A and B are shown apart, each in its own frame.
Chain A
């Protein structure tokens, strides 16, 4: 028996990434030792050695849906942008404006360039306004280096400083219906109240288990929850304090993170979203504000918005138990190839295989019957809205 096919959507399979060599040593997060000591199965992911799971992906997934899951997401890139020119510069660099972003505000944005006079999507990111002249960007691990290179190449002569703080800090996602209560149980009354009153996509500073943290009400699971940025030294104590504060809290690997975001219909860079992706075709129009703005690739994006896309992102619910995987071809009822799977797995919450796919616009109506070619076997599938209905209990 051998696992012979790279099938992970979070890229959590070792096979999906180039093998590490001595010259290409994997980076580790401040929680790496904790993962190794607690049964974490460590695999290469985007240049980092990360836990794909501890015991069971399904168990970790359910713990997050039902109570509270902890995810080490320290591999995500954390960039600091500050200085008197930071606001206006970022406003000219991102697909979402930050001119009006108040301290504490968080926005989902794309980072684009205008190579060849067109537009390339370099990454999707969160931009956080920490104060009038201080911003943070959270970018994908796999894109961090080229995003930093691109942004640095665009820096003005003065007034803006960009620093990659990924290695000095750790990032912990606490997700699930009990996540916020678990975290706030480790805070002073005042800090707890501040976190409890955070709306989605808002952030604040707080002391969590005695460690200074940037707390944002964001996540990548579809659940309520927060993401904490703490110092590298604070990572293990904060992580352990959260686990100790809630018996049902569960350390989760990237495998569960992938099934959770898939059920919640969230795109993942490298899968649903790549350089050439038309964001309007995959439901990311909310990540692009065109009116009255300039940013790299803006005019090319305006042209994309003006013409209906030939293929769009849909959900697929498959019959049987066999999951479709990235790259599987999708066929229409008359047999013609009409799309391709971008992510697929078994859905622990729904008990059936689900997938996201790019399909021809005329096959995208929910309820449309399609077939997915899984290694030569055609499996019936039904187009589903995203997120997948019924993925969450409440």
Chain B
């Protein structure tokens, strides 16, 4: 599992080759920081997401946040129950709280992301 500075995670199923399917979610740290979630906007299956660009929104009582794609690809599955059960994000951020699955177009983008240790270091330093 790799992490973006913007707190999304991505996990590739199998080998990271072009066309491999990867799951995207947000980190436990980010979910805890948000609190009071009320709304989530997700992309359509078949749409394209671009690394570093917004693919959806998550909104709390207080504020709207963009969700950024860690890697580019085509959306192949959307966790459609999630907007009606936002508690899943906090209960199981790396499992049942997954957000979308994409078909990777450029697996080399994974190289610029952080591993768990590097991400943990970033959040412990409070850089976000």
Chain A interface (Cβ < 8 Å from any Cβ of B): 1-8, 12-13, 52-53, 55-58, 255, 259, 320-323, 325, 345-346, 348, 353, 375
Q: How far is the CB of B69 from chain A (nearest CB, A)?
A: 11
Residues of chain B at interface, number, CB under 8 A: 23
B30-38, B72-80, B104-112, B113-121: which lies at the interface: B30-38
Q: Known: A322-B59, A346-B61. Contact between A1 and B36, CB under 8 A? A: no
Most buried by A among B6, B39, B62: B62
Complex-state Cα separation, A324 to B34, whole angstroms: 18
**Which of A55, A57, A323 is in CB contact (< 8 Å) with B59?**
A323
**Which of B35, B36, B63 is in CB contact (< 8 Å) with A13?**
B63
Are B6 and A56 in contact (CB-based, < 8 A)? Answer: no
Chain B interface (Cβ < 8 Å from any Cβ of A): 6-8, 26, 30, 35-36, 38-39, 41, 57-68, 83
Q: How far is the CB of A55 from chain B (nearest CB, A)?
A: 7
Closest to A12 in B: B62
Are B39 and A1 in contact (CB-based, < 8 A)? Answer: no
A322-B39, A375-B64 known; 9 other A-B pairs, CB under 8 Å? A1-B7, A1-B8, A4-B65, A321-B83, A323-B38, A323-B59, A345-B62, A346-B39, A346-B61
Are B35 and A53 in contact (CB-based, < 8 A)? Answer: yes
Closest to B31 in A: A1
Query: Which of chain B's residues have a CB closer than 8 A to the CB of A321?
Result: 38-39, 83
Closest to B128 in A: A2
Are B63 and A3 in contact (CB-based, < 8 A)? Answer: yes
Complex-state Cα separation, A55 to B32, whole angstroms: 10
Are A1 and B64 in contact (CB-based, < 8 A)? Answer: no
- Of the A-B pairs whose beta carbons lie under 8 Å apart in the complex, a sample of 11, sorted by A's number, is A2-B65, A6-B63, A56-B35, A56-B36, A57-B35, A255-B61, A321-B83, A322-B41, A323-B61, A353-B38, A375-B57
